Amino acid sequence: MPADKLGRYMTSEAFLSRANAAVKKAVRNLEEKGIQPAYVVRESKEAATEVSGDVVKVSVGASSAKRKPLKVA
């Protein structure tokens, strides 16, 4: 699949609905087995800090992120 076609699909409502359905199914399967799913909330964009005119990219590590339970609507 060409990159532009893949990109359009990944930003479409069809992809979002399929991804959400897959996540809900996976969570339901885990809960049926008695496993409480958890995930790490990450910022959608990398944090950036300006240091003497240069931009330094800083990513948030999993150790600094707070965990919270996954809620399925």
pLDDT score for 4: 84
- Residues facing residue 50 across a β-bridge: 55
Q: Rounded to whole angstroms, how far apart are CA atoms 19 and 21?
A: 5
pLDDT score for 36: 86
Q: For residue 19, which amino acid is it?
A: A
Tens of pLDDT, residues 14-31: 999 999 999 999 999 999
Q: CB-side exposure of 50: number of CA atoms within 13 Å? A: 2
Q: Rounded to whole angstroms, how far apart are CA atoms 73 and 55?
A: 39
pLDDT score for 37: 79
Query: Is the per-residue pLDDT at 60 higher than 60?
Result: no
In 3D space, the residue among 35, 8, 24 whose CA is nearest the CA of residue 71 turns out to be 24
